[in-house]
Chain A
Amino acid sequence: MPQPPVPRESRVRAGIVPPYLLLRIAAAEEHYDVAADAARRSLLRDEPMRELRVEGAHPGLLPHEHTRSATTGRDHDVEAEGEGAPVDAAVPEPAPDRRISDAQGAESLPGHLVRTEGQPATGDVAVDQAYDGLGEVWALFERVYGRDAIDGEGAPLEATVHFGDHYDNAFWDGERMVFGDGDGEVFRGFTQSISVIGHELAHGVTEMTARLRYRDQSGALNEHVSDVFGALTEQYAMGQDAEAATWLIGEGIFTELVQGRALRSMLEPGTAYDDDVLGRDPQPAHFRDYIVTDADNGGVHLNSGIPNRAFALAAVELGGFAWEHVGRIWYDALTGGTLRPNDGFAVFAAATLAAARERYGDVSREVAAVANGWRAVGVEPE
């Protein structure tokens, strides 16, 4: 696919976060997780991310920069980066590189490039929602997990909107996120929901890391990982803790004609909608109800309810901001290099437990919460 030679004005490519800084961040976070959790939470509460959504033009992520200096700069190991100290001019702040294209109702990709990084809002709602949403997903991955964009090296975040005629879906095609406008009867446009945008981008991250095969249990895990980071994107953007979070995926996607809140509920799978036309949300919430089917690549959008509930239960048990503990554990499991493409629920559960032990210690609330989550949905780690 031809890449227009868009100059990356304000950002310097490659590396983005130099290795020494990554080491510092890691070192700081080690302390951080156990020592300064409360401090960071209160700091985040003081600057709710929803402010970002007020001025659509630049979720230039300014409020996050305070968060960042709090996570990396206040720790005793990293005095060199104390707050307010001028940052080394040679180390540019990482920034997203968003590119939004418009398919103008055709089913061809990528469409016309209509908004690139730093450009003002276009006035096209879908274009601007996609741009803002991608900024929020990027912020979650970069600020919290230290991952710059999908590949971790700052590659462009590409999205196409207005795909197809009344196209009622959104998907990841291996290179970009693609959003339809919806049919207007069941679905409104798909860019309205940050959790959907996060879901699609996370498919790219999975493809770059654990490469979970999109079929049967590994496919349901692929879907699950996308729901996890979709939900966490929304929670991070809104400053919601696990208690306040809706745990819904795709809230606001249905038209008002549909009796339902969202596409899925991570906490209570099977309860997101109950509609005369759509029927009832078919997601199982327990492994004994695993659905064997040939459709939907082996029911990947159905059986994801099982690990989704395990994750949400663990998050609620721990309380606080889910992206800081369970989200980090899941991210470690996804990117740790131990998962194989065909792994199923049991192996994935074991990977999350191993990641929790690694980060928080064998005897920790985090390990207990993750174990309880999997137990509650009938998955035995192996």
Chain B
Amino acid sequence: MEVEVVRSGGLAGLRLTWTVEVEDQPDPEEWVLLVERLPWSDTPPAPPEPDRYTYRIRCEPHVATLAERQVTGPWRDLVDRVRDVAEPSRRRADVGGRAAPAQPGAPDAEGPRTTAPSDPTPAPPAPGD
């Protein structure tokens, strides 16, 4: 069982990911208990606060997206635990190829994005997320 915490947003827009393999922990039962007690289905969308962090917490089959101010109680316990035992990774899955060295002359590859509409349709989750 894997627990993943992704923190995005923030003034700097830097994204951090912590991943914990529960079976590798000295106290896997406690982790399982904590995860099962989380109110996964009770996470109403919160109005975003500019520059504040957003957390996406995933433990298959569950996933929840929380504003930082919603990360309280058992959610906070989980996030604190994850941060205690795991080193954050800064990989940027969402940026994909763009993070690689510049691709001069490749604007066509991004063609569809140039027509990105100004409507409020939420962007789809990045592949692999």
Contacts and interface: CB of A to CB of B under 8 A. Distances in A.
Interface of A: 168-174, 186-187, 190, 196, 199-200, 203, 207, 213-219, 222-223, 226, 250, 253, 263, 277-280, 282, 284, 286-302, 342-347, 378, 382
7 contacts: A200-B11, A214-B50, A226-B50, A288-B110, A294-B126, A295-B94, A298-B123
Enumerate the 7 nearest inter-chain pairs by beta-carbon distance, A residue then B residue, closest first: A344-B118, A301-B13, A293-B94, A295-B8, A171-B51, A171-B52, A203-B50
B41 interface: no
B66 to A, nearest CB: 13
B51 to A, nearest CB: 4
Query: Would you call the interface of chain B mostly helix, strand, loop, or mixed?
Result: loop
B51 A288 contact: no
Contacts of B123: 216, 292-294, 298-299
B124 interface: yes
Given A213-B120, A217-B118, A299-B123, A169 B110 contact: no
B29 interface: no
Interface residues of B, number: 40
B74 interface: no
A301 B113 contact: no
A226 to B, nearest CB: 7
A367 B78 CA distance: 53
Contacts of A344: 116-119
A151 B92 CA distance: 37
A278 B14 contact: yes
B116 A292 contact: yes
Given A214-B48, A301-B13, A295 B119 contact: no
A342 B119 contact: yes
Contacts of A250: 11-12
Contacts of A284: 98
Q: Which of A207, A214, A293, A299 has the most CB of B within 10 A?
A: A293
A216 B116 CA distance: 10
